[in-house]
Structures are given as C-alpha cells and as structure tokens.
C-alpha cells in the first residue's frame, strides 16, 4: 500500500476534473480525496496499490478538457481512507 499527494496545475477547475478522478479511483480501488485549491490547482491524495495509483495519475493527465501544465507529487504516510471523496469547501 502507498499514499501519494498530488497537486495538478493548469486548467483543472470548472471542467469536471474532480468527478472524473473520483469515478476512475473507485473503478481502480484507490481511496483518498480530491479538492479544488484557491490558487486554481487541484490537490488529491491517492491511497492503495502503487500500480493502480500510477494508472490513476496517468488517467488524470488525459481527462477531457483538462490542460495540465505541471504535477507535483510526494509520498505521504498512508492513512486509512474509506472510499474516495470530493472535498468541497
């Protein structure tokens, strides 16, 4: 099991990016969360099998209407996530 925090920069808000991520995460058995950030980026934590996390990250880069300019990632301590949540502030 692994947990990785991602920050996606570019055109990633207002296009259904978070909903696409949640659907694919659930399909792949990845847990965690995703949320819009005030600076226009989207932050997410993916937890689960490393291969499934890698597939999900690759999927994020191909979401229709998204134009990703850069992605930051860092391994974090694995937490016990229950499902996958879109966090709305």
Q: What angle do CA 74, 7, 56 make, to 5 degrees?
A: 80
Pairing type for strands 84-87 and 67-75 reads unpaired
Q: How many C-beta atoms surround the C-beta of residue 53 within 10 A?
A: 22
Q: Which entry of 18, 50, 61, 88 is annotated as an active-site residue?
A: 18
Among all chains, which residue has been given the structure tokens 């819009």?
Answer: 36
Q: Which entry of 36, 61, 82, 88 is annotated as an active-site residue?
A: 36
| 36 annotated active-site | yes
| 18 annotated active-site | yes
Catalytically active residues are 18, 36
């Amino acid at each position: 099991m692994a947990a990785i925090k991602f920050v996606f920069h570019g055109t990633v808000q207002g296009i259904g990016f978070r909903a696409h991520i949640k659907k694919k995460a659930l399909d792949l058995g990845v847990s965690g969360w995703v949320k819009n950030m005030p600076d226009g980026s989207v932050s997410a934590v993916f937890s689960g099998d490393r291969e499934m996390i890698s597939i999900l990250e690759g999927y994020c880069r191909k979401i229709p209407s998204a134009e990703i300019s850069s992605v930051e990632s860092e391994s974090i301590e694995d937490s016990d996530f229950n499902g996958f949540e879109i966090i709305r502030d």
